[in-house]
Amino acid sequence: MPCFVDGFHAGHCSMTNLTDCICINVPLQAGVSQCVQTSCEFSDQYDTALVSQELCKGYPTESRRRYSRIFSIALPTISATVVALRCWARYTVTQKLWWDDWSALIALFFLVVSCACGFANAGMGFGEHYWDVEPGKGKTIIQLFYAMQMFYTFMQVAAKTSICCFYYRVFTNTPFLLAVKGALVFILLHGAMFLFLVIFQCLPVQSIWDRSIEGKCLNITAIGYGGAAISIFEDIVLFIMPVPELLKLQLSRKKKWALVFMFGIGSFACIASMIRLKYLVSLAHTFDATWDNVDVVLWSSIEVNLAIVCGSLPALRPLFKRIPALLSTAMSTARSGTGTNRRPGAPTPLAKVSNHSRPSCAMSAESSPRRPILAEAQSRGFGSSSTVKVSHSTVDDRLDLEEGTGSRDDLEQQDWAAEKPAS
């Protein structure tokens, strides 16, 4: 009662029109809600919410539920499309998926589940002001939000694991591969520690959503800050790691920086992490969790969505490279007026190269006139005096087409990577 009286005075409400004064004045309602949450027992808070709901029944309320639902559908749809194209391109070429593809699929799975929980939460009242949420639905909202915190950890770790596995498959420099392994171990340990803290943020765990149970809780705000800061650090490291290796490639400057950009677009996830941290900071002292948490949930999903999408773009390069050939074939077919004719010699998009036509690593410059010579190395198995021509643009070759047996060294050599910069 004192909270309402103080609110009436603060809002200069007339005793003859209290309902209109309270129910359309959001700052006044926020002040009363904060007073009730800090001064009353949970049972009293529940009773106050029932009275407030009945008093303001029929009055319009602010809502971000529609906003939350739209993003809960759009984000997993975008990620699912990109990951599906990634897996289709990889399987069409190699007849198998790699560890980075499976990790991306795991991240996508948890993103879909998390967004489904977010969509369901919006139906419960998540996205409305705390004092406008039906008291009976508050418990379910907290339970779903608790589950989403765990899903966030799973999908974040899986998305970053996918990037690490991609680096490990593409690059061959031993020191770099050791660095990738170290980064992966750090990500897994950080994820396990954060997951443990989220699960057991309060003891007993039921006290998280049942406020009638007295429990002891960790400082979840500090845990959120620490987790976000470490996540940003991981994003920066994953962005910087491949740059020195890419700059070593014997490519023209244009193609070299094109590769750097392709790998660097993953930094957008780092930007999303920073924006998420900003909302986490503003959330530290909120008393309107069902409204203010929308931004945190949204940017958490955007962060992982960007990690999945941007991490998949380099793996989609074989598909991107074959789009011109695909368009050329389609235009040729349209001109001929039949769907069975194709320009002689036109490449078939994403066609699996036969093992019989796979060029040998020992092929000389004369037998492969289109590929400039980038280095010479002693041939394995032909004596110490024999030499072979070897391209050092392995990274770009691996991006173009990986061999389907799982070998990290047996590759299809593509012309894109063979351009030597002018001296």
- The pLDDT tens digits for 129-172 are 888 888 778 889 989 999 999 999 999 999 999 999 988 988 88
356: pLDDT confidence band, cut at 50, 70 and 90?
Answer: very low
- The pLDDT tens digits for 366-384 are 444 433 333 333 333 333 3
Cα 66 to Cα 79: distance, rounded to the nearest angstrom: 21
**What is the arithmetic mean of pLDDT over 22-37?**
76
Number of C-beta neighbours around residue 244 at 10 A:
10
Q: Please provide the average confidence, as pLDDT, over all residues in the chain.
A: 75
Is 253's pLDDT higher than 90?
no
DSSP secondary structure of 110-164: HHHHHHHHHHHHHHHTBTB-GGGS-GGGHHHHHHHHHHHHHHHHHHHHHHHHHHH
Cα 50 to Cα 18: distance, rounded to the nearest angstrom: 17
What is the predicted pLDDT for the residue at 215?
A: 84
Q: What is the rounded end-to-end Cα distance, in angstroms, of the chain?
A: 83
- The pLDDT tens digits for 194-213 are 999 999 999 999 888 887 78
Compute CA distances 38 → 6, 34, 35, 41, whole Å.
14, 6, 5, 8
Q: Residue 216: helix, strand or coil by DSSP?
A: strand
Question: 170 φ, ψ to 5°?
Answer: -85, -45
Sequence-ordered list of residues with C-beta below 8 angstroms from that of 162, at least 6 positions apart, any chain: 100, 101, 103, 104, 107, 308, 311, 312
What is the predicted pLDDT for the residue at 197?
A: 93
Cα 275 to Cα 268: distance, rounded to the nearest angstrom: 11
Is 5's pLDDT higher than 80?
no
- Specify the higher pLDDT residue, 397 or 24: 24
Compute CA distances 367 → 317, 375, 379, 420, whole Å.
27, 16, 16, 18
Number of C-beta neighbours around residue 395 at 10 A:
23
What is the predicted pLDDT for the residue at 257?
A: 74
**What is the arithmetic mean of pLDDT over 219-240?**
88
What is the predicted pLDDT for the residue at 112?
A: 94
Domains of the chain, first to last:
2-55 (no CATH), 65-318 (1.20.1070), 361-423 (no CATH)
The answer to whether the beta carbons of residues 392 and 250 sit under 8 Å apart is yes
Q: Is it true that the peptide bond before 204 is cis, omega within 30 degrees of 0? A: yes
Q: Comparing 238-242, 319-323, 352-356, which segment has the lowest mean pLDDT?
A: 352-356
Cα 14 to Cα 33: distance, rounded to the nearest angstrom: 20
Model-level pTM?
0.72
Q: Comparing 2-11, 300-309, 353-362, which segment has the lowest mean pLDDT?
A: 353-362
